[in-house]
Amino acid sequence: MQRLVILSGAGISAESGLKTFRDSDGLWEGYEVTEVATPGAFRRNPQLVLDFYNMRRRNVLDAVPNAAHTGLAALEKDFEVIIITQNIDDLHERGGSTHVLHLHGEITKTRSISNPDVTFSYDRDLAVGDLAPDGTQLRPFIVWFEEEVPKLAEAAAIMRTADIMAVIGTSLLVYPAAGLVHYARPGIQKYIIDKRIPAIEKSKDWNLIEKPATEGVIELQKLLRR
């Protein structure tokens, strides 16, 4: 069975009602990134940061997977599908995908400020004073700006094994995640699905599907199964 590796971004969840990382006003849910998505922001105003992610978690829990999520899960019948996602939501999993690697963390989990490797599920809003078992403050299990991406090496290793690669709903502007496409072996089938195809090197090597993710995944299914 061929291995199909997907790199997904915010565009695939936008059709489920989740805002993309930066909207046209340059803000994220009305906040500057430096206010809510850096270690320094958490040190300066931890409750503001926690409130921001509490809101985002509620938004994710209210959202439902769309046809792009379920369409990728359906491809597991014919391919070994591995999804590498930049998204912090769990819509791929709820859509039925069984092998998902989250580069930037998961909004439905928490971690202590002292140990990024131990995570906890949570079903309520976080507040200052909520402590992990090690006695330190709980924070969202999110990779913030200025922090290393701990699963990047694992993702690069997976990308090297792809027989087919598809990039869905990402601008390919956020590094280091965007650089993962360069780990794919030369000569494999490569697809990119987005409403606005990003500028990519050697575009002749790519099959371009300039459509929203929900429509583009349907086309991808047809192309892969013909």
Strands 105-112 and 138-142: antiparallel
Contact call for residues 108 and 31 (beta carbons, < 8 A):
no
Residue with tokens 């200025």: 146
Q: Catalytic: which of 69, 92, 102, 104? A: 104
Q: Hey, what amino acid is at 148?
A: E
Query: Residue 182 corresponds to which tokens in the numbers above?
Result: 């360069």
Active site residue 104: yes
| Of 94, 100, 90, the residue nearest 5 (C-alpha) | 100
Q: What Cα–Cα distance (Å) separates residue 66 from each residue in 69, 197, 216?
A: 5, 21, 12
User: Which residues are CB-neighbours of 215 under 8 A, at least 6 positions away?
Assistant: none
Give catalytic residue positions: 104
